[in-house]
Amino acid sequence: MPEAAVYGYILKSAPDKQLKLALQGVFVAEQCVIDREVRGVQQRAGNRLSGLSELEFEALVDLCLGLTDKAMAARRNVSLRGAQSRLQSLYQKLGLDKVDIPSGAWGASFNSRTRAISLALTQGILNADTLRREEEKLQAWLAQSST
């Protein structure tokens, strides 16, 4: 976040309602307001060793959008192996290596794909606003790909 942001930071792309609430928070309640997406970026950038790279973040977004490995590869213009490699790197950073996933008599306790989404949302790496924007980008890509 820029040092000049004394009272907080909100993205220009924020919906009008969110902007109104932020202004009320700053001017009426005298609170510092920081957009959730900015907080997510701060968290990713805060610790470079455990933070997600841009490629891993893209893989996480694609997971949340429900894309298959093949669709991820096509969307990001990489090989299938490249897309799968990004997913494996993402899983490692989130602590979802196959050896780290507990299992019981029923088998593995987690599905890596859905667990990654859950962790991303609970840790603030992703939020609904980011997913809405990414869904729009996905729909545009799908429309372009089908022509």
Per domain, the residue ranges of the chain are 50-145
In this predicted model, which residue has the larger pLDDT, 95 or 26? 95
Kindly report whether the global pTM for this prediction surpasses the value 0.85. Answer: no
> What does each C-alpha distance from 102 to 22, 37, 97 come to in angstroms?
42, 31, 10
Q: Which CATH architecture has domain 50-145?
A: Orthogonal Bundle (1.10)
Q: Are 1 and 38 in contact (CB under 8 A)?
A: yes
- Look at residue 96 in the predicted model and tell me its pLDDT: 81
Tell me the per-residue pLDDT of 22-38, one tens digit each, with 9 for 90 and over.
777 767 766 666 666 66
Q: Where are any strands of DSSP class E within 38-130?
A: 103-104, 107-108
DSSP state of 95: T
Question: Taking residues 57-82, what's their average pLDDT?
Answer: 94
pLDDT tier, 60 (very low <50, low <70, confident <90, very high otherwise): very high
Most confident of 24-28, 50-54, 83-87: 83-87
Round to whole Å and give the CA distance between 47 and 59.
Answer: 19
Answer positive or negative: Cα dihedral of 21, 22, 24, 28.
Answer: positive
Among the listed residues 82, 33, 36, the one whose alpha carbon sits nearest the alpha carbon of residue 55? 82
In this predicted model, which residue has the larger pLDDT, 57 or 100? 57
- Look at residue 95 in the predicted model and tell me its pLDDT: 80
